[in-house]
Chain A
Amino acid sequence: MLGDFAAMRQSIFDGAPESAASLAKQALVAGVPPLEAIDQGFAPGMADVGEQYAQHNMFLPDMLASAEAMKAAMSVLEPELKRHGEQRATAGTVVLGTTKGDIHEIGKTLVGTLLTANGFKVHDLGVDVASEEFAAKARELKADIVGVSALLTTTMRGQKAVVEALERAGLRSSVKVIVGGAPVTRRWAEEIGADGYAKDAVSAVTLVKDLLEHRFALDSR
């Protein structure tokens, strides 16, 4: 065996970015194809964490540490992937933010973290974000998904404004809009013409996966 897949998996499980990165480097030196290191080594570690989280054996700080370790491994492997001309099946790009006038960020950030941990490229615009900013960033990054969070009844309308801004920018057909936040309901999502609603971060990941249908290589173990 060329690469120590078990150790790679463990490094993610342990949330150890240094050892994840050094195992990734060792794998490359040993001639392991980067895609194989991801699929057979690191990604299964992330899946283990997800499973343990669902069973309440691991918690959010563990999940975040594992996401960091995953990032460390990927930053070593990704340039090699590109050099090999190999294409990772893209999970998709998500632009995320909280509506204008609203500074609640915890829920939105959590959604971003779990999406990142599941292999999506997430660009977090932060809080108090104007609808045009969502549209501009979506255009710039060719985003697949725009996620809009709102925690106040007064700022929920900002979610509708994002849908409209994307329409004005001519991006509406290429971008799916998802919404969330405590006062937001599925009915509201339908009313404003959004493509999806999720009640929490875990279901947000499922939602995004469903919306994009094709699955990320990381997840195809």
Chain B
Amino acid sequence: MRPKLELLDRDLLARILDEAFEILEVIGTKVGAPEALDLLASAGARIEGGVARLPEALVRRTLQSVPHEFFLYDRTGQPTVHYGGDDVHFDPGSSCLNILDGETGQPRPAMTADLVRMVQVTEMLPQYAAQATALVCNDVPSEMGDWYRLLLVLWYSDKPIVTGAFSVPTLRTMFDLLAADSGGMAVLQEKPRAIFDVCPSPPLNWSAFASQNMIELARAGVPAEIVSMPLAGATAPVTLAGAVVQHAAECLAGICIHQLAKAGAPVVWGGAPAIFDMSTGNTPMGAIETAMLDMGCAQVGKSLGLPTHGYLVASDARQIDAQAGLESGSSALLGALAGINMISGAGMLDFLACHSIEKLVIDADAIAGAQRLIGGIEPRSEKLALDMFTQTGIHGDFLKLKETRALFRKEQHFPSAVIDRSGDSNVSGILTRARQRADELVAGYQRPAISPEVETALVTVALRQAKASGLDSLPGIELPAVVSR
């Protein structure tokens, strides 16, 4: 049996959806992009002062065309991430400004070299099914911040990518990069390598950028991941149930715009909900209620048959300490038990304001534990224990049994050296162990084989954009000889 945890009973689930539809019909949603307003108006929505009121029938109709599953593909064209059902994948947290310096243990602005190292470490850890455009590099002009992350990930990784744009023009640059990587827009559409996060603004506001973003993604055939983030008590109702209703309404509205732009385009019911800390005004990502919100929101999406996403495995600690461990570890378990298709957030600290390669390495072991958990307890043999006892007798020595040797690898997960089971009193602290492990992973890393044509195509797009920002080199990338500056 695959263990699963649901927080909403049938009645509450139905009430949540009913209210979400009612909110969209009665209160409506703000929509910023004129094109999105036009799409909604011609489909029968009532538009008034930038607010669209969406009839339930319209929203239900657009829901019909959403694919219930799709894949992200790696560079070699293998479908390695399955959005759909109860499959669970993890990827690092996204677009962070700061990194916890591995040497000093202090946060500092992230640079291209940090992102390259993080991509290499992520590439080597099987727990991460996808890369994230995890850091915004402070050593490139800020207007190229979003697409430059994607370039570096494409350059150093084979895995699928969870990314996102900061503006519509740069979104187009990111399409160009992905098309260059895939060998054309048609291949990208057929076998998408990346998915784009898009955030509505809570409450109930599909800003001009966000709504236009959804339209562009739908038309380009590149998967969109709605990252609705009600902050319960500040930008959403304080009750967890109320915040889940708002999340549902925001997702439904986003799906409506998206599917009207292009029916059948892939879209994910996702989010980064959180509670609002009434003492500090912070948005704790490691709070148990935050995990409960993610679970509740995902359950609603699943009830509609949609692929899901959540934001967990992040901690609010500012250092890699016991708080970071307990918050990240417990939310990894809960996310996995909820069957969320893509769980973003590993590696992150300080309310998503700081990333850490060492934490990413530690979190990988928490994730491995969560993945083991959802593997469940299996019978493995016809008699569960009796046959083994028959062989060994009452004073049995199980270590010698052939069953032991045949099955222990299936039954036990072997954590990396980050998890100390040595029993050695002189063992180094977890931060040192994580740093060593990161060094080993980087030492074992090999850059993927990327064809010269693809490299040239990527660099051509990138240099064109970089030059517009006054840069004639690409930090973190050794330019192939064929490319003339």
Instruction: Report A's interface with B, CB cutoff 8 A.
Output: 56, 59-61, 101, 103, 106-107, 110, 152-154, 156-157, 182-183, 200-201
Partner of B166, one of A106, A110, A152: A152
- A154 touching B353 by the CB < 8 A rule? no
Question: Separation in Å of the B167 CB from the closest CB of chain A?
Answer: 8
Residues of A close to B207: CB separation below 8 A: 103
- B142 touching A60 by the CB < 8 A rule? no
A101 to B207, CA, bound (A): 11
Residues of A close to B167: CB separation below 8 A: 101, 154
- A154 touching B97 by the CB < 8 A rule? no
Nearest B residue to A185 via CB reads B109
Nearest A residue to B351 via CB reads A182
- A153 touching B353 by the CB < 8 A rule? no
Nearest B residue to A101 via CB reads B167
Contacting A at CB under 8 A, from B137-176, are 138, 142-143, 145-146, 166-167
Question: Separation in Å of the A204 CB from the closest CB of chain B?
Answer: 11
- A156 touching B142 by the CB < 8 A rule? yes
- B279 touching A107 by the CB < 8 A rule? no
- A154 touching B142 by the CB < 8 A rule? yes
- B281 touching A154 by the CB < 8 A rule? no
Nearest A residue to B280 via CB reads A200
- Contacts A153-B138, A154-B145 given; does A183 touch B278 at CB 8 Å: no
Contacting A at CB under 8 A, from B321-337, are none
- B235 touching A56 by the CB < 8 A rule? no
Nearest B residue to A153 via CB reads B142
A202 to B104, CA, bound (A): 29
- A201 touching B281 by the CB < 8 A rule? yes
A56 to B276, CA, bound (A): 15
13 A-B pairs with C-beta separation under 8 A: A56-B279, A60-B278, A60-B279, A101-B167, A103-B201, A103-B207, A106-B231, A106-B235, A106-B276, A152-B166, A153-B145, A154-B167, A200-B281
Question: Separation in Å of the B465 CB from the closest CB of chain A?
Answer: 14
Residues of B close to A61: CB separation below 8 A: 233, 278
Asked whether any CB of chain A lies closer than 8 Å to the CB of B136, the reply is yes
- B235 touching A183 by the CB < 8 A rule? no
- A153 touching B279 by the CB < 8 A rule? no
Question: Separation in Å of the B461 CB from the closest CB of chain A?
Answer: 20
Partner of A154, one of B143, B233, B234, B276: B143
Instruction: Report B's interface with A, CB cutoff 8 A.
Output: 97, 136, 138, 142-143, 145-146, 166-167, 201, 207, 231, 233-235, 276, 278-281, 283, 353
Question: Separation in Å of the B80 CB from the closest CB of chain A?
Answer: 31
A152 to B209, CA, bound (A): 14
- B281 touching A157 by the CB < 8 A rule? no
Nearest A residue to B166 via CB reads A154
Nearest B residue to A63 via CB reads B278
Residues of A close to B231: CB separation below 8 A: 106
- A60 touching B201 by the CB < 8 A rule? no
Question: Separation in Å of the A75 CB from the closest CB of chain B?
Answer: 26
Partner of A157, one of B136, B138, B142, B278: B142
A14 to B167, CA, bound (A): 45
Nearest A residue to B170 via CB reads A154
Residues of A close to B283: CB separation below 8 A: 106
Top 10 A-B residue pairs of the complex, sorted by shortest distance between their CB atoms:
A59-B278, A153-B142, A154-B142, A60-B278, A110-B281, A183-B97, A103-B201, A182-B353, A56-B279, A154-B166
Residues of A close to B146: CB separation below 8 A: 154
A153 to B111, CA, bound (A): 13
- B281 touching A153 by the CB < 8 A rule? no
Question: Separation in Å of the B34 CB from the closest CB of chain A?
Answer: 16
Nearest A residue to B138 via CB reads A153
Nearest B residue to A128 via CB reads B207
Residues of A close to B279: CB separation below 8 A: 56, 59-60
Nearest B residue to A111 via CB reads B281
Question: Separation in Å of the B292 CB from the closest CB of chain A?
Answer: 20
A59 to B278, CA, bound (A): 5
Nearest A residue to B353 via CB reads A182
Residues of A close to B280: CB separation below 8 A: 200
A107 to B353, CA, bound (A): 14
Residues of B close to A152: CB separation below 8 A: 166
Residues of B close to A60: CB separation below 8 A: 278-279, 281
Partner of B281, one of A101, A103, A106, A183: A106
- B201 touching A182 by the CB < 8 A rule? no
A164 to B138, CA, bound (A): 23
- Contacts A60-B279, A153-B142 given; does A182 touch B97 at CB 8 Å: yes
A211 to B167, CA, bound (A): 36
- B97 touching A106 by the CB < 8 A rule? no
A59 to B353, CA, bound (A): 23
- A153 touching B136 by the CB < 8 A rule? yes
